Structure 1
Amino acid sequence: MNTPSAGTRWIQLGLGLIVMMTISSPQYVWTLFVKPFQATTGSGLPAVQVTFTLLIVLQTFFSPAQGWLIERFSAKGMIALGAALSGAGWAAASQIDSLYGLYATYGVLCGLGTGIVYVGIIGLMVRWFPERRGFAAGVVAAGYGMGAIATTFPISDMIAASGYRHALLVFGAILGVVGFIAALGLRPPQLGETPEIPADKVASAARDVPPKTMLKTPLFWLMFAMMAMMSTGGLMVVAQFAAFSKEFGVADALVFGFAALPFALTFDRVTNGLTRPFFGWVSDNVGRENTMAFAFALEACAIALLLAFRENAYAFALLSGVVFFAWGEIFSLFPSTLTDTFGTKHATTNYGFLYMAQGVGSLLGGPFAAMIHDAAGSWVPVFCIAIGLDLVTAALAWFVLKPARRAYLGVPVPAVPALAEPLAAKPLAA
């Protein structure tokens, strides 16, 4: 087995983690800037919130083009550019006074920048760690999910002390520069720098499938539909978290001496980050689909319990952490499964297409859930839909995706599959 020299790939993983952390704040601390932007632009909340929608849409729906650019040109250069754009978006937003200026800076620049970095880093890490793709993708995805923990309180304090413009300018410069410098150390692996995949590990494609061919396979669209359903179901809860906590009457109740809502949000951010490398590591050892089925069913159970005990502040806070723990792993399981199936050469662009499913989920999970609530006058139908989507996706992982991937990769399907049965990679027909 070939081995990388002197921990090179672990250095690459560390650099990827740092860059991911630098692009986390535009999404996860957006809420701190909403009211200041409303006051500056003289706009209502819905108009200002379009900025956040732009950020997510540009981050996800442009990811195939961003992935193609990364593979066509320099991964290092493009990721460095993305980090710089994200920081520049904040710095530029500190100087604007109009709503359209806000859209162009915070929405467009940060959206494009974070999208380039996200798909680029994931694409590199699944190549550096062929035998630990789930773990590696999970580590860097955790950087995006948890990176804002380090900036939330400093930014909040700076806004209170010096105003939001100063906070945007200072942190935009810091995060942009740190991300740019760290990205300059990134590179794709060379021949012999990564180990071969052991025969008893997860199945991996014997050939590299280009995006045009991948998009013609039902297997890709099955993965896309599953990720879209998981994103929608999870975001139905995530996007409306503060709203339903207030309606359930637990937002201001005390939990371990803290108000339940901020405690839950902090706890959830931690579990949402930790789940990505954890379940990625689990999937490296027991199989992607087995892990998906368990994790997705776990989220369904957690949401059901959260609904059942929705008026108990302690249950609300703690079970919300379980919900996030069982949801965030989609950002390690799906990219690793995709690369296992369609190879590494086009991994970045291929994942760009799959990542669009997160954009679908963000559009449906927020507005669609709010519409259902307004029509029914209750959050209960929203929770029930999320539970149903989780259970359907868990069943698809076990009963459909698992045999479909085996058939595509040329791996025989055993008569009685074991829970943790490894998938042996076999050559594909020419």
Structure 2
Amino acid sequence: MSRWAIIIASTAIMMVISIYQYSWSLFAYAVSRELMWSLITVSIAFTVFTYASTFIQPFSGFLADSYGPRKVAMIASIITGLGFILSSTISNPIELYITYGLGSLGVGTLYGIATATAVKWFPERRGLATGIVTFGFGAGASILNIPIQTLINSHGFRMTFLYIGLLMISLLTLLSLMMSYPKDITVRSVGKTSSKGIDYSPKEMLMTWQWYIIYLTFIITPTVVLIFGAQLKMIASEFSISQEYLNIVLISYPLANGFSRILAGLISDRVGREKTMVLFYTSLGISLLMLSYIGVIPELFVVLATIISLFGGAPYTFYPSIIGDYYGSKYVTVNYGITYTAKAWAGLLAGWLTAYLVEVYGTYRLPLMIVAISCIIAALLSSPLILKPPKSKVVSSK
């Protein structure tokens, strides 16, 4: 099977599972309104999603690397769809956390496998290949959000959960049949790498100081995308943005988010991951600050939200690529799975903590400004003057 066919299938998988993250604000608003639950109560479900979908990845990555991705992906596909189907029956918050969390385990497993296909099959163009695959996760909602909103408005959130869950099982199981990893991995990277054909095990990766900078910046930078994914409709409401303008953002935001991943991959393959990270994270922080001050103007809200998305989706290209660059391809599913757990902490910041700050201070501007400053700090930490590839791998002799 052509490696490009596998990448296309991986991208399609990403588009389907992106509903869990980038369409959540539509479901959250409907659930909160119909069941009369508070913002904090509903937001906990998104925090559960981020934790479940991230902490499963080291385990699922080990299974996929050890036994092959196809069977693991098929089981995950069923779990993903089942999570939505069961969410259609909820009557209290605990049930929502359990059912949405169950589906999130499948989402995390599929995300890790789909990303690993790009890193493993395209070692010479990791940034571009990873950008294409993760483009699906960012851009999928641009196609699906309006139909989902229409379905929720006409049939309610319960029937929408049910219909989409059934569709997920059908599509994802078929696409999972195309998942495979190359038997022989040859490192032909065109970018700067330290591994030079040497593969780092998870333990060896965790012994390098570079990984901890990568992990910290990976906690900070995805937070804004998660905030918008979980609470976009509520943010628009605070800024008095009409439904007409919000509909534009519901399309432009995920589309820009997806395109940013390809753009980040293309640029970082040419000029280096670290330099591109500095550029994107600085721009992200500045755009967030601007939105906090002038986002009340509807046209500027649309423009700035789209620009934020254009830079905010890039971490999902940078980090799997840089893990492959620094630590090799052999253990990349597990290594990136461990690194991806940073998103769980980002989810805590974007979900519960943001909702708490809004409840206490009555505005989204404060958490947005905090994240903006944090992104600029992440840019400084990602500078090639600080973040550099490991010089060598220490191999113990018997």
Q: Same fold (TM over 0.5)?
A: yes
Report the Cα distance in structure 1 between the residues aligned to 2:28 and 2:367, rounded to whole angstroms: 26
Asked whether 1:183 is paired with 2:176, we answer yes
Letter in 2 for 1:201: G
Could you say if the C-alpha distance between residues 267 and 120 of structure 1 is closer, same or farther in structure 2, counting changes exceeding 3 Å? Answer: same
Report the Cα distance in structure 1 between the residues aligned to 2:69 and 2:332, rounded to whole angstroms: 12
Contact 1:12–1:186 (Cα < 8 Å) also in 2: yes
Match of 1:285 in 2: 270
Match of 2:247 in 1: 262
Contact 2:218–2:342 (Cα < 8 Å) also in 1: yes
Secondary structure at the residue paired with 1:398?
Answer: coil
Contact 1:19–1:83 (Cα < 8 Å) also in 2: no
Contact 1:292–1:333 (Cα < 8 Å) also in 2: yes
Number of equivalent positions? 394
Contact 2:79–2:102 (Cα < 8 Å) also in 1: yes
Match of 2:203 in 1: 212
Deviation at 1:232? Answer: 3.3
Letter in 2 for 1:50: I
Asked whether 1:201 is paired with 2:191, we answer yes
| Percent of matched pairs sharing the same residue | 27
Could you say if the C-alpha distance between residues 183 and 401 of structure 1 is closer, same or farther in structure 2, counting changes exceeding 3 Å? Answer: farther
Letter in 2 for 1:202: K
Deviation at 1:14? Answer: 0.6
Alignment partner for residue 81 of structure 2, among 73, 78, 87? 87
Match of 1:231 in 2: 222
Contact 1:67–1:348 (Cα < 8 Å) also in 2: yes
Could you say if the C-alpha distance between residues 365 and 161 of structure 1 is closer, same or farther in structure 2, counting changes exceeding 3 Å? Answer: closer
Could you say if the C-alpha distance between residues 41 and 104 of structure 1 is closer, same or farther in structure 2, counting changes exceeding 3 Å? Answer: farther
Contact 2:145–2:250 (Cα < 8 Å) also in 1: no
Could you say if the C-alpha distance between residues 315 and 340 of structure 1 is closer, same or farther in structure 2, counting changes exceeding 3 Å? Answer: same
Secondary structure at the residue paired with 1:208?
Answer: coil
Contact 1:41–1:99 (Cα < 8 Å) also in 2: no
Secondary structure at the residue paired with 1:148?
Answer: helix
More helix by proportion, 1 or 2?
A: 2
Deviation at 1:271? Answer: 0.5
Asked whether 1:133 is paired with 2:126, we answer yes
Secondary structure at the residue paired with 1:185?
Answer: coil
Report the Cα distance in structure 2 between the residues aligned to 1:74 and 1:429, rounded to whole angstroms: 29
Deviation at 1:302? Answer: 1.5
Asked whether 1:60 is paired with 2:71, we answer no
Report the Cα distance in structure 2 between the residues aligned to 1:324 and 1:57, rounded to whole angstroms: 22
Question: Which one is further off, 91-100 or 304-313?
Answer: 91-100
Deviation at 1:163? Answer: 4.5
C-alpha RMSD over aligned residues: 2.6
Letter in 1 for 2:210: L
Could you say if the C-alpha distance between residues 201 and 376 of structure 1 is closer, same or farther in structure 2, counting changes exceeding 3 Å? Answer: same
Asked whether 1:116 is paired with 2:112, we answer no
Asked whether 1:104 is paired with 2:95, we answer no
Deviation at 1:317? Answer: 1.0
Secondary structure at the residue paired with 1:209?
Answer: coil
Tell me the TM-score normalised to structure 1 length: 0.83
Deviation at 1:346? Answer: 0.8
Secondary structure at the residue paired with 1:365?
Answer: helix
Contact 1:40–1:97 (Cα < 8 Å) also in 2: no
Point out which structure has higher relative CO (alpha carbons under 8 A, 6+ apart): 2
Report the Cα distance in structure 1 between the residues aligned to 2:236 and 2:179, rounded to whole angstroms: 42
Contact 2:22–2:229 (Cα < 8 Å) also in 1: no
Match of 2:279 in 1: 294
Unpaired segments ≥5 residues, structure 1: 1-6, 253-257, 411-427
Write the deviation string for residues 279-307 of structure 1: whole angstroms up to 9, x where unpaired. 11111111100110111111122123323
Question: Which one is further off, 129-138 or 95-104?
Answer: 95-104
Structure 1 segment 411-430 matched on structure 2, within 5 A = 430=395
Asked whether 1:311 is paired with 2:296, we answer yes
Report the Cα distance in structure 2 between the residues aligned to 1:292 and 1:368, rounded to whole angstroms: 26
Deviation at 1:69? Answer: 2.0
Unpaired segments ≥5 residues, structure 2: none
Tell me the TM-score normalised to structure 2 length: 0.89
Deviation at 1:388? Answer: 1.7
Report the Cα distance in structure 2 between the residues aligned to 1:178 and 1:362, rounded to whole angstroms: 27
Deviation at 1:110? Answer: 0.9
Letter in 2 for 1:313: P
Could you say if the C-alpha distance between residues 346 and 141 of structure 1 is closer, same or farther in structure 2, counting changes exceeding 3 Å? Answer: same
Could you say if the C-alpha distance between residues 101 and 371 of structure 1 is closer, same or farther in structure 2, counting changes exceeding 3 Å? Answer: closer
Match of 1:274 in 2: 259
Contact 1:260–1:313 (Cα < 8 Å) also in 2: yes
Write the deviation string for residues 221-266 of structure 1: whole angstroms up to 9, x where unpaired. 11001111212355456655444443344x12xxxxx722332232
Alignment partner for residue 342 of structure 1, among 311, 324, 327? 327
